[in-house]
Amino acid sequence: MLTLLFCQTTMKRNQALDGLRAVAVLMVMGDHAVLPHFAGGFIGVDIFFVLSGFLISGVVMDEWLRAGGFNFRRFLYRRFLRLFPALFLMALLVLPVAAAMSGSIEDAALDAGAALLYITNLVRLYALHEPNLFYGHTWSLGVEQQFYLLWPLGLMVCFRNALGVRAILKLSLLLLLALLAWRLHLALSQAPLPRLYNAPDTRLQGVLLGCLAGMALRGLDAAAIQRLSRAGALLRWPMVGVAMAVFLSVRIDTGYFTWGLPLIEAVACLLILDLHLRPETRLAKALAWRPVARLGVVSYGVYLWHYPIFRVLDELVCARSAFIFLVGGALSVLIAELSFRFWETPILDRQRSTASASALARP
């Protein structure tokens, strides 16, 4: 039964995971709107990192197991088509507003360029220029993109050396443990917060953990997956409780990188596995509720748009945080939905049609 359930959930979109995306983006929005009791909302980004690694690793491993290989260029091209059009649209439309409100077209253009090149986190890390505040949230996109430029190359080396899934899992686990130890060392050494917050080597652990979980589901036997599912069932609500406790109490300081971030990454990973393996639970059904799941589907666009919209409302209206969250959030969801339907999806559909036509034309 569990094996059948696993096969079914790998073949179709898991709406409970979409719902988890929605929760994560609401956390981040509450933090950026400075809502009371939302100071820990930044953990939503760390949930996104783990979920991204879990889903992307599933796609890569499924392709390898099905086709016996992995096309790195096609992987990057598909990521580009999925993510870059929405980012480009946001960066382009926000640019004149950012220039007008900051008083510097040069600074606004540099920030937009850094966002489009996926290096905002590096600009912030090395203080390469004094940024305005309309593209700062794209630091997380930089961390992900930098990870996905390196990780698939490592997988290709493993594939070409005929390493099995279990061997890749062991190597990935060793790498994860080494990176966790490195981050802990930096935090205990009181490294500057910009170094801890923006650097790829201190933030990609969550993505790698998600990748490890996604690969584990392809490398473990049915009995091991069943034990994992039972453990998730026992820990489900305690994990939710731990996540809420961290969300309500944590602040961005070196302590967060010592204990809070590893805890959130672990809890997010276990919750994702539980939602994936048991989509019939009450928690999974609540997250899969259609309005919540739909917000998760467009959460990438909501994340892109909410930050500049919140900044504009804060500068022009000087409103309370609840107004910024509700009105700015509604505008962000509306624009994200329009972008998804009329800009991002047509680009993907056109690419799929072109790829299908090319395949049919081959002899």
**How high is the mean pLDDT of the chain?**
89
> Residue 162: its pLDDT value, please?
77
Question: What is the predicted pLDDT for the residue at 12?
Answer: 66
Mean pLDDT of 260-278: 94
Say what the pLDDT of residue 103 is.
Answer: 82
pLDDT at 360 over 50: no
User: pLDDT tier at 99 (50, 70, 90 boundaries)?
Assistant: very high
How many domains does the chain divide into? Answer: 1
As a whole number, mean pLDDT of residues 162-172 equals 86
Averaged over 174-199, what is the pLDDT? 96
Q: What is the pLDDT of residue 121?
A: 95
Residue type (1 letter), 197: Y
HEC sequence for the chain: CHHHHHHHHHHCCCHHHHHHHHHHHHHHHHHHCCCCCCCCCCHHHHHHHHHHHHHHHHHHHHHHHHHCCCCHHHHHHHHHHHHHHHHHHHHHHHHHHHHHHHCCHHHHHHHHHHHHCCCHHHHHHHCCCCCCCCCHHHHHHHHHHHHHHHHHHHHHHHHHCCCCHHHHHHHHHHHHHHHHHHHHHHHHCCCCHHHHHHCHHHHCHHHHHHHHHHHHHHHCCHHHHHHHHHHHHHHHHHHHHHHHHHHHHCCCCHHHHHHHHHHHHHHHHHHHHHHHHCCCCHHHHHHCCHHHHHHHHCHHHHHHHHHHHHHHHHHHCCCCHHHHHHHHHHHHHHHHHHHHHHHHHHHHHHHHHHHHHHHHHCC
For residue 223, the model assigns a pLDDT of 87
How large is the greatest C-alpha to C-alpha distance in the chain, in angstroms?
64
pLDDT tens digits along 191-248: 999 999 999 999 999 999 999 999 998 888 888 888 888 888 888 889 889 889 889 8
Give the domain range for residue 48: 2-361
Alpha-carbon distance 287 to 189, whole Å? 39
**Higher model confidence: residue 336 or residue 150?**
336
Q: How confident is the model at residue 356 (pLDDT cuts 50, 70, 90)?
A: low
Q: Kindly provide the b/e burial profile for residues 4-14, where b requires at least 16 CB atoms within 10 angstroms of the residue's own CB.
A: ebbeebeeeeb
Specify the pLDDT at position 8.
35
pLDDT per residue over 40-53, tens digit each? 999 999 999 999 99
